[in-house]
Structures are given as C-alpha cells and as structure tokens.
Structure 1
C-alpha cells in the first residue's frame, strides 16, 4: 500500500519571465544621476542673492522715476541775482520767466544757462533748483576794460562784445587794432598805463595799425607815435624826454614822434594853429 507523503514547506515564488534574447546586466542605471550631481554642485544661495541684487538694481531707476513723477510740479517762480551795469534786472527776469510753468525736474538747467549766456553782457549764469517750485539764477556780468574798434567793448578777460548800450560802461580808454591782436593790444596798454602813472600821466588809448605801428594817446590829448620796431625802447625814450624837457610845457604839446634813434620830434600846438588854413 502506497502511502502519500505530504511535505509542507515555504513556497518558492516562480522566477519572473525573461524577455527573449535579453541578458540581465544588473540594476538599471538612474537616467538623471548626472543632472542631479551637477545641480548638487550649484551654490543656490549665492545664485539667489545675485538674482535679487540684479532685480533690485533694475528696479531702482524705475522706482526713482516713479518717485520724481509723483513729486514733480511746475516751476512757479524765478529769482535773478547779480550786480548789473549793462544788463537790466527786469529784462533778465522777463527772459528767465519763459521757464515758469515748465516741469520742475524735467527742465534742463543747462538750456537755461546757455540761453542767458547768449546775452551780450552776461559772462556766466549759474542756475539751481530750490524746492518746491523755484529757480535761482546768479548772473555775472562782463567787466568792460575799454572801448574797441567800431564802438564795441573789450572785457577784462579779452573778450570782444557788442551790447546795444555800450555807453553805460562810462569813461574808459579806447583801444583799437585787428580783432585777432586784441590780447597784444591789452597787454601793451596795461604795461604802458602802469609806467605812465609814475610820471603823473594818464593813459587814454592805444592803437595798433594793420601794418603793425603803435600810437599811444595820453589823457591830456597828446599823441605819441611809436612805430613798429623797438616799441618798448621808443616808449622809454619818450618818457625820459618828457620828464626832462616837456613836463613844464605839456599844455603846448600836440604830438610826439618817438621813431627817431637819438630823440623825439615834438609838434607844438602853436605849429598846428599856424599850419591851419585861414578863412
């Protein structure tokens, strides 16, 4: 008699079916492993801070513009200051008044400065904003040194200008010469004027002719012809002769020609009177 033996034990799971033609090579590689490794090396804190800084920097101009727009208003008044001889306070204020009603922030102060400095008497204009709606303008006038050829004026800085009212400059010496030689004329005039003071003589004018000859005019009306060459030496010779021989008779002298090597030629007022034609 056959006996049936039942042996119990743990069940062994069947092996999973294998794909035909496939050979098992171990666990499948993680597809994103390289990407994860790269990302793990990125300093995300620094990147975040950098991005924040860039964003804030980009927002500053925008925020500033919005703030200025909110604060902006019209220019309500213009104050003009300065010491004026040739210019008029009223005329300057009228000229600057063209900017009243314009934007306080958007108005270019350089435009105002340039416009005012086009006026003949204005040497410089300093313009500044004063909150909430005012402009302050400081004007510096040109200081005239002498009258120049054709009724123009020459400033102390050597600038030639043609104001509509040159006579307001008052009594000034008269200089003349080619425009491109204005600095030479000024330098010569200053040198002679300083020396004449020591001899009690006043300086009234100096002319430089186109061909280079100099003629000095004294405040007493005497003309001194100095010519083109050795002008400084001829001037000194004139001063010496005047001090030694002519000072006591200055009222009789009309013209002095210093173009001689050993002295000067004097033209007396009596000679001028005798040479005048009789009517």
Structure 2
C-alpha cells in the first residue's frame, strides 16, 4: 500500500494543451530529417567512380600532348623512293627538302602528298613517318600509253598530262583529237591495233579530226583515211584489200583512202622515193 502511494506521488510533467481541432505535426521520438534521408539514398560509390572516369578522360588528351611534346624532334631527312622514268630524283628531293627541320609529329603529311601529286608525272605519293626523325616518300608515276596531240601524253588510265620532257616516254603510238574525246580515241585505237597485230601489221597512230573523220597510221608510214561514217566497216574493207593485194608492195604505198563503197583508192609514192633512189 505504501509502495503504490509513492509511485503515484512522483511528479509527471503535464502535457501541453492542444488546440481543439488541431493536429500536431511534431514528430515523435528523436525525429527524422529529410535531407539526411536524401543523402543516404545517393549511390556514392557509383558517383565517385563516374567523377574519376570524367577526370581521367579529361587528362588523357593533355597527357598525350605532353608525351608528344617531349618525344617530338625535327625532321632530319626525307627519303624518296620509286621507279622513276619521267621524274627527276634530284627535283623531287629538292621539293620535299623544305620540310626538313620541321616538327616530326606536327608536320601535315597530306600537305606533302598534295604538293607532290601536282607534278605532271606523279600519279600518287605516299608519305610516312619513320621514328625518330625521318620521312619516307613512295612515288608512283603515270604510265604513258601514247603521245597525245602536239604536247601531251595520255596515261594508261586515260589521263592527259603535259610534262616538259614527254620524249622520255620513248616510242609510243601518236594519238590525236579533241581532249574531251580522248576515251573514244583510245578505245578505237585499241580495237584497230589488236586487229592489225593479228595480221602482223604494226599500228603507229590514230587521229580524230574535230569534224569526226578518222585517219589511221601504220608503222610503215602508210596513212589510211576512214572518214566519219561506217568506220568499222571501212577498216575491215581496208584490211582485206591490204592483206590480199597491197602488203607485198607496202613500201610503194603512201596513202590509202577507204571511204569508197566497193574498194579503196591507193596513192603511190613517187618512183624515185619508192625505189629508194635520190632525185
């Protein structure tokens, strides 16, 4: 009885009065802070890893630049290689020599390539670096197929070019015609050259006049007029007459006109010329 009385007699702080109809917003116990809850929900491990990746990615270009700067040297020599016929080794080396002394890594190889490919004989140029201070240039020249008009050459790919020393190309057929018809002339020349070769006759040249007339030149100096129309048929007619009647006397023939319907007209050399005697 006494113990119960003592417990009941302890002081209990009164609860604060509440307004009637109001709801208390005060959290119970120690309380909960939303800010700390948001921090706790963040995946900090992934965030730190992402930041590290970004920092390293930003440092890679800087680090690479520093390494290249440290390793960079001046170009001390440029070697030029290639099977040269029309080009001059000395002239090529002189042209690329202006890049000697420049930065090994900063030098634009495409600039050297473009400069060399402007030369008439150069088909392509390949430029590469050789550590620590050397460049190597591989030159590929155009392969001439024939002489074209009075001052040009035409390559095997049909490309016209005008070198100052076209005579170094050696003995080649002489083709002529409008520049825009070069492919047509090449195609016709190949067809005729193959047909002549099968008969043992040498092909020396072909001319396409501006008005469309074709003239064939044999390697024995005989000119064959084929005109503008029915060129293939006239060529076949010429071949038949030449093989059947004119080949044994080819050294006496100066010109053949195949523009006739049923045959050809022959212009003979003067007697003194065909016989080889001097006048």
Deviation at 1:128, TM superposition (A): 0.2
State the SS of the aligned residue for 1:150. Answer: coil
Higher mean displacement: 164-173 or 114-123: 164-173
Deviation at 1:270, TM superposition (A): 3.0
Match of residue 263 from structure 1:
263
Between the aligned partners of 2:222 and 2:13, the Cα distance in structure 1 is: 140
Higher mean displacement: 227-236 or 107-116: 227-236
Deviation at 1:28, TM superposition (A): 4.0
**Structure 1 residues 175 and 19 mapped into 2: Cα distance closer, same or farther (>3 Å)?**
same
**Structure 1 residues 24 and 195 mapped into 2: Cα distance closer, same or farther (>3 Å)?**
closer
CA-based RMSD of the aligned residues comes to 2.6
Q: Any unmatched runs of 5+ in structure 2?
A: 274-279
**1:68-94 Cα shifts (integer Å, max 9, x gaps):** 111111001100001111111111111
Between the aligned partners of 1:8 and 1:53, the Cα distance in structure 2 is: 69
Match of residue 4 from structure 1:
none
**1:109-137 Cα shifts (integer Å, max 9, x gaps):** 00000001111111110000000000000
Higher mean displacement: 35-44 or 86-95: 35-44
Match of residue 36 from structure 2:
36
Match of residue 57 from structure 1:
57
Deviation at 1:198, TM superposition (A): 1.6
Q: Any residues of structure 2 matched to 1:70-219 within 5 Å, and which?
A: 70-219=70-219
**Structure 1 residues 18 and 165 mapped into 2: Cα distance closer, same or farther (>3 Å)?**
same
Between the aligned partners of 2:25 and 2:239, the Cα distance in structure 1 is: 121
Deviation at 1:208, TM superposition (A): 0.4
Higher mean displacement: 225-234 or 130-139: 225-234
**Structure 1 residues 181 and 25 mapped into 2: Cα distance closer, same or farther (>3 Å)?**
same
State the SS of the aligned residue for 2:119. Answer: coil
Between the aligned partners of 1:236 and 1:214, the Cα distance in structure 2 is: 14
Between the aligned partners of 1:14 and 1:157, the Cα distance in structure 2 is: 109
**1:123-171 Cα shifts (integer Å, max 9, x gaps):** 1100000000000000011111111112211111111111111111112
Between the aligned partners of 1:15 and 1:84, the Cα distance in structure 2 is: 112
**Structure 1 residues 82 and 251 mapped into 2: Cα distance closer, same or farther (>3 Å)?**
same
Deviation at 1:51, TM superposition (A): 2.2
Match of residue 24 from structure 2:
25
Between the aligned partners of 1:73 and 1:87, the Cα distance in structure 2 is: 30
TM-score, length of structure 1 as denominator length: 0.87
**1:44-78 Cα shifts (integer Å, max 9, x gaps):** 22222222222222221111111111111100110
Deviation at 1:272, TM superposition (A): 11
State the SS of the aligned residue for 1:84. Answer: coil
